[in-house]
Amino acid sequence: MSENPFLTPSDLPYQLPPFADIRNEHYLPAFEAGMAEQLAAVAAIGADPAEPTFANTVVALERSGQGVFKRVNIAFHNKLSSDTDDELNAIETEISPRLAAHADKILLDAGLFARIEALWRNRAALDLDEQDERLLERYRTEFVRGGAALDAAGKERLAAINGELAELASAFNQQILADINDAAVHVTDLAELDGLGEDQIGAAAAAAKDRDLDGWLITQSNFSRHPLLEDLKDRGLRERLYKATIGRGAGNAATLLRMARLRAEKARLLGYEHFAAYIAADQTAGNAGIIAERLAGLAEASVRNARREAAELQEVIDAEGGDYALAAWDWSYYAKQVRQSKYGFDAEALKPYLELDRVLVDGVFHAAEKEFGLTFEARKDLEGYHPEARVWEVFDDGEPLGLFVGDFFTRDSKKGGAWMNALVVQSDLTGDKPVVVNNLNIVKPPAGQPALVSVDNVTTLFHEFGHALHGLLSACRYPKTSMTSTPRDFVEYPSQVNEMWEDWPEVVANYARHHETGEAAPAELIAQWKAAGKFGEGFASTEYLGAALLDQAWHRLTPEEVPDGGDDPYAVVQAFERKALEDAGIYMPEIAPRYRSGYFAHISIGYAAGYYSYIWSEILDADTVEWFKENGGLTRANGDHFREFLLSKGGSIDPMESYRRFRGRDAEIDPLLERRGLK
């Protein structure tokens, strides 16, 4: 084996991992070395004969995980999500339960917990500043929620549960990616693709060629609603595509049921009624009952709006002489027609003005420069983890700030969806500057063709870069509370705020230019785009809330209430879904939840019982957008204020206190209700 690059710090700028030198064979030995290194450091903390102090216990614990273990852990999980293969999947299967056991060895260490508890009880006398006290609180909370206060039998059972859950999550995620690839729809008759643009047909042809197939291949989306449903005129193909999309997940049914039962048992072991209560207790919401009440209230209004929209779509079908009732695979197609009829907006007419790099550089980066003084320089000399992962150096008023890595195209080796993660975590303690990654799943155009993106892709680019800004602008002392290390129901907030710039006049005028001529998009077309965005909130809210309520339903069960899979676990899961949605008053056969249970990746990667977070964060987002508008919009002064009081703080102080300091008060819900037509 070649020399393991994880065993020493990277000598690349900003400690970017040396991807050119990393091989699959390096991961397991590095994990083993890293875990041993950290456990030795932790053992030394526990064995220290000196009285516990903040420095010799909490700061020492914070430093213990910053070496080999952190380097390999971050690089491995980034590669696993973005560019996996069979060998990496096998490593994940092997290492996941070992990583869970490693964490438990630390969190269940009675001596270490005793030192932390002593400091917590005496915190008023420790002369801690705000960031110090927050770090102590997070460690103490993490240990308590990790089972440190349990008796020996409880600790043993919790460790077993955590190990099995890690194995199940690994299997669940690998099955999702396999299902996405297997559910692609093969088309052999070009006539069936009527309605698609040349770029979409070209991408489908390229996808088929990549798999040695004739004709065209429609690759799958992460969501229940495939984006091409709005363009395909052939109703039969729409139905086939929709059913292939929502038909995924059978292979995950038994895994899901087992995860639900184990999570319910874990919650009970730790003193909670159910797993949703366990999760809510450490979020800004604080209480699962409050979450349930808020979601129920929003669901009623959302379904009412969705039914009104459905009636409009049925009118279009009837007017065209369609002898059928609106079905789920028809919704997007006829919604597009209504938008065109009501607002004159055709998304395909805007698409030639939305070339990926121009949207990114002249839109996303441009807004960040106007708001925060950031500039970006392509670093073609720095290699990413995949040839399509491009690197930019980020400057803050001319001073080096960090690196941004953009990986925008879909591929069979990448999981679905879009996300941000860190490759290097900003910390004043370690002296590390941030390196962040944005991943999207835009369909790659044929060679030599421009990457023209959809309106939804534009929104996602701005959204994910909002997460990137939360990381890049972090100015925190400790890694544990840096960057996006906030509660789940807060972390989506900065990214949602950044979406406001996608159609801000100054920004859209800078990036919405024809990919061939450079001509600006007509003002009328931009106005139609903005106006058309008001239609469809009923569908969007119902689709989202269906998934959020489904997530809550699975995680509000006691161990005894989790259904048994029997001979057909998939049928059991489907029946549970139907009843849960009906009980929540949000079941509509024309609108599937954004994710169904078997391909709901969020519930296996840290968002279990937390998918409500998006709507919760949107309360803060909508209120913040109002603040920006009231104070002059896209100005450096506004950006500096947002940065100083919120983005730079990460999780180093209570996030809601950060919000109050930024806004001058608690958030109000009215702007959200008005935005979604729910007031």
Element (H, E) at 420: strand 419-424
> Cα angle at 497 between 228 and 627, to 5 degrees?
140
Distance between CA atoms of 71 and 91, rounded to whole angstroms? 16
- The separation between CA 613 and the C-alpha centre of its own chain, rounded to angstroms, equals 11
How far, CA to CA in Å, does 548 sit from each of 165, 287, 296, 553, 616?
A: 21, 16, 11, 9, 11
Residue 267: partners with Cβ closer than 8 Å, 6 or more residues away: 273, 274, 275, 277, 278
CB 638 within 8 A of CB 632: yes
At 396, phi and psi to the nearest 5?
A: -110, 100
Q: Is the Cα torsion angle 65, 69, 75, 78 positive or negative in sign?
A: negative
> Cα angle at 605 between 600 and 610, to 5 degrees?
75
Closest CA to 45 of 121, 115, 147, 117: 115
> Cα angle at 225 between 224 and 231, to 5 degrees?
155
Q: Which single residue is written with the structure tokens 């993490």? A: 142
R_g (Cα) of the chain, nearest Å: 25
Helix (H, G, I), strand (E, B) or coil at 378: strand
3-state secondary structure 228-284: HHHCCCCHHHHHHHHHHHHCCCHHHHHHHHHHHHHHHHHHHHCCCCCHHHHHHCCCC
Distance between CA atoms of 239 and 250, rounded to whole angstroms? 19
* Cross-strand pairs, 404: 392, 436
Distance between CA atoms of 467 and 624, rounded to whole angstroms? 16
Task: Name the active-site residue from 192, 464, 492, 543.
Answer: 464
Closest CA to 72 of 42, 50, 102: 102
Element (H, E) at 407: strand 399-409
Closest CA to 675 of 542, 539, 494, 533: 533
CA trace torsion 350, 352, 358, 359 (10° rounding): 30
Distance between CA atoms of 399 and 472, rounded to whole angstroms? 13
How far, CA to CA in Å, does 495 sit from each of 460, 466, 639?
A: 9, 4, 14
* Cross-strand pairs, 376: 394
- 198 as an active site residue: the answer is no
| 490: number of Cβ within 10 Å | 22
Distance between CA atoms of 440 and 81, rounded to whole angstroms? 11
Single-letter code of the amino acid located at 277: A
Closest CA to 484 of 530, 541, 393, 421: 421
Query: Could you tell me the two tokens for 403?
Result: 């690196």
Q: Which single residue is written with the structure tokens 């204020």? A: 641
Please return the burial class of 459, using the count of CB atoms within 10 Å of its CB with bins 0-12, 13-18 and 19+.
middle
Please return the burial class of 171, using the count of CB atoms within 10 Å of its CB with bins 0-12, 13-18 and 19+.
buried
CB 262 within 8 A of CB 239: no
Single-letter code of the amino acid located at 341: S
Kindly state the DSSP code that residue 514 receives in the 8-state scheme: -
The catalytic site residues sit at 464
